[in-house]
Amino acid sequence: MNDESLLALAYRGRPATIDELATLSHLPLADARVAVTRLRARGQLGGHDGHITYVNPGDWAAETVAARAGDLRRTARDLLGEIERVVADLPRMIDHWSIGQTSADPMPVVTRHGPRASEDVWFEFGRRDAGTLDAVLPDISRFLTSPHERVTRFSEAFRRKDAVRVILPTTIAKDPVVQPLLVAFTAAGMEYRFLDDPPSWFWVDGEQLAIPFEWGEGRPTSVISVRNAALAGMISAYFASLWRRATPGVPTTEPWTPLLSLMRTGMTLDTASRQIGVNPRTGRRRVAQAMTHYGVSTLFALGMAWAADADAGVSHAP
């Protein structure tokens, strides 16, 4: 039995000692001790002597990537490969962890299955009123056949987010069949970029994230969603590395641009928010982001700074 299989067995059964683990795994006690030593050295198990304690796989993954990132001798490509190796093993480890989970070590895990599981899991667990949604969609063919009601429901939800960023495969960039969908993405306030070879479908929204059962799937029908701050932070950092490599699909505009454009004509913030299809609370958050961006503290100063850039055609896209 290799270390990964032994760790999965330990997650499910939660033996408290190495003796119990040896009995559970049918391994000689000496072999079990050596394996536990290796897993402790990697940070995947804890404890001293013959006693075993357990490390949440989300926390372990986040700490491992942070440690790798701190090693400045590694190249960016090496680091990205290390992150991908850790992430690729997460679905299986999270699944095993959830089986043996107790009230003392909670990590809320849900699974969904079906042809539209990848969409449904966000609508069920993602935040629809605030925050930033980051997603990688290697296969968007299912959106081309989605019922109009479903498309409208998601578009309205995305409009209420502070920002939605999506990475798509480069192969669809000039596909005329896909162009209406990209127009719809833009109209919903989404920003998209293209990547030659997206590694897998996944998304992260605040502390909630979703990954496929099999890392690498572009259109998964079995999905795991987890709420874990450390793990979500790691996935967000991974997305950011992909986003920097991706090619912008259209000239980007900041989320506050439509609001300020309308307010420039004399509309109030609340009226302008409703005009573009977001609630006033979301509109106020976007204006606050703009104030931070321009380093101003009043709407008048913001209007002056933004108008100067708009008139000069300056873009502040990330």
How many whole angstroms separate alpha carbon 131 and alpha carbon 137?
19
pLDDT at 149: 73
What is the pLDDT at residue 136? 92
Helix, strand or coil for residue 46?
A: strand
Q: How many whole angstroms separate alpha carbon 97 and alpha carbon 85?
A: 18
pLDDT digits (tens, 9 = 90+) for 138-180: 988 777 776 767 667 777 777 777 788 889 998 887 788 777 7
CB of 184 within 8 A of CB of 151?
A: yes
- Give me the architecture of the 109-248 domain, per CATH: 2-Layer Sandwich (3.30)
Which residues contact residue 129 at a Cβ distance below 8 angstroms, ignoring those fewer than 6 apart? 160, 161, 279, 281, 282
Q: What is the pLDDT of residue 314?
A: 46
Predicted TM-score (pTM) of the model is: 0.55
Question: What residue type is assigned to position 53 of the chain?
Answer: T
For residue 206 the two structure tokens come to: 């605040």
Residues 285, 277: Cα–Cα separation, whole Å: 14
User: Which DSSP symbol is given to 65?
Assistant: H
In CATH, which of 1.10.10, 2.60.40, 1.10.1060, 1.25.40 is domain 3-100? 1.10.10
pLDDT value at position 117? Answer: 80
The pLDDT, as a whole number, for residue 75 is: 46
Q: What is the pLDDT along the chain (318 residues), one digit of tens a residue?
A: 788 888 888 888 888 899 999 898 888 999 999 999 988 888 888 888 889 988 777 677 766 666 655 554 444 445 556 566 666 667 667 766 666 665 555 566 778 888 878 777 877 776 666 678 899 989 887 777 767 676 677 777 777 777 888 899 988 877 887 777 777 777 667 788 888 888 888 989 888 888 888 888 888 888 888 887 877 887 888 888 888 888 877 555 677 887 887 787 778 888 888 777 677 888 888 888 888 888 888 888 888 888 777 554 444 433
CATH fold of the domain at 257-312: Arc Repressor Mutant, subunit A (1.10.10)
The per-residue pLDDT for 167 is 92
- All CATH 3.30.870.10 domain ranges of the chain, comma separated, are 109-248
Whole-number pLDDT of residue 318: 38
Tell me the longest C-alpha to C-alpha distance in the chain.
78
pLDDT at residue number 76: 44
Give the per-residue pLDDT at 41.
84
In the chain, residues under CATH classification 1.10.10 are 3-100, 257-312
Single-letter code of the amino acid located at 198: P
Strands (E), 67-131: 109-113
b/e burial code for range 69-82 (CB count within 10 A of at least 16 → b): eeeeeeeeeebbeb
